[in-house]
């Protein structure tokens, strides 16, 4: 099911506009700071209300400013992996992940699902530990397990690997690719890194000053972008 985004966000010092569709698979959104990458994720997740436009997943309309429609954030099932990961520091890994399982599921089953997801992502041993004790890679895996627990219909990844070094990044990129294939949902990953985009993406969108400046297959786009100074591939 494709995600259609046709929105404009206007602020006194910034204008963002995009009209595109995201098919199942990974789309990497590249661009310098202030390009509008996070604005895109905000408009899709509902954390940001666009000035005007429409967002829809298949036939299900999430935003239609012409009709004053704005589906609540929690009703969209758009998993958002924040750059900081936003793991709840007062909850164990098990409770962090169980938090995302719908409340209609009985408590024991919520916990069983959470434990199974943690095990699947290789961090079952962290179930009863709180986030401050995790390494960077472990925290990423717990955050991914939490995102999966909500049975997402769209995945939004905001610079998901920026805090990791090259060695820890590689297996996680492979994991995200495997999960995206398994889920077969639109997955949008925002990144500064050409290396990450190369390893992850089925499609690459390049943004600058709130506009799409290039859109296409990774090989073609990244070959061109590789010569740009404003895209920094620090760790990829």
Partner 1 sequence: MDWDPLLLSLEAALIATLVAGVVGVTLGALLARPRMPGRHLLDALIAAPMVMPPTVLGYYVLVTVGRKSAIGGLYRDLFGSDLTFTFHAVVLAASIGALPMIAKAARTAFEGVDPTLPRAARTLGAGRVRAFFTVTLPLAAPGVIGGLMLGFARGLGDFGVTLMVAGDIPGETQSAPLAIYDHVQAKREHAAAMSSLVLTIGAVVILYAVNRLTRDRHREDEARWH
Cβ atoms of residues 91 and 118 within 8 Å: no
Distances in Å between the Cα of 208 and the Cα atoms of 21, 25, 212 are 18, 23, 7
Q: Give the nearer residue to partner 1 in terms of CB position, either 37 or 146.
A: 146
The pair of structure tokens assigned to 43 is 């408009």
DSSP lists the bridge partners of residue 81 as 157
Q: Residue 76 gets which letter from DSSP?
A: S
Among 43, 85, 200, 204, binds partner 1 (CB under 8 A): 85
3-state helix, strand, coil in the chain (%, to 5): 40, 25, 35
**Site residues (CB under 8 A) for partner 1, limited to 170-229:** none
Minimum Å distance from CB 45 to partner 1?
6
Which region, judged by CB under 8 A, interacts with partner 1, from 119-127, 146-154, 166-174, 177-185?
146-154
Q: What is the four-CA torsion angle of 36, 37, 38, 40, rounded to 10 degrees?
A: 80
Q: In the stretch 57-76, what mask flags binding to partner 1 with x, by CB under 8 A?
A: ---------------xxx-x
**Site residues (CB under 8 A) for partner 1, limited to 19-48:** 45-47
> What's the chain's length in residues?
236
**Is residue 105 a contact residue for partner 1 (CB under 8 A)?**
no
- Positions touching partner 1 (CB under 8 A) are 45-47, 72-74, 76-80, 82, 84-86, 88-90, 99-100, 102-103, 131-136, 139, 146, 149-150, 163
């Amino acid at each position: 099911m494709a995600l259609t985004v046709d929105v404009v966000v206007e602020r006194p010092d910034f204008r963002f506009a995009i009209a595109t569709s995201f098919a199942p698979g990974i789309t990497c959104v590249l661009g310098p700071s202030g390009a509008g990458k996070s604005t895109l994720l905000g408009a899709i997740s509902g954390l940001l209300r666009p000035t005007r436009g429409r967002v829809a997943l298949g036939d299900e309309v999430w935003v239609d400013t012409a009709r004053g429609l704005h589906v609540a954030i929690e009703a969209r099932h758009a998993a958002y992996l924040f750059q900081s990961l936003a793991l709840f520091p007062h909850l164990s890994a098990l409770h962090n992940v169980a938090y995302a399982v719908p409340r209609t599921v009985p408590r024991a089953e919520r916990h069983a699902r959470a434990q199974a997801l943690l095990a699947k992502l290789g961090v079952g041993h962290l179930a009863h530990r709180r986030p401050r004790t995790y390494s960077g890679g472990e925290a990423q895996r717990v955050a991914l397990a939490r995102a999966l627990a909500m049975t997402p219909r769209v995945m939004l990844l905001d610079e998901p690997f920026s805090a990791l070094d090259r060695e820890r990044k590689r297996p996680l990129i492979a994991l995200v690719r495997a999960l995206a294939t398994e889920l077969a949902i639109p997955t949008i990953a925002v990144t500064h890194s050409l290396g990450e985009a190369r390893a992850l993406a089925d499609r690459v969108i390049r943004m600058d000053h709130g506009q799409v400046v290039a859109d296409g297959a990774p090989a073609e786009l990244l070959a061109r972008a590789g010569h740009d100074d404003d895209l920094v591939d620090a760790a990829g």
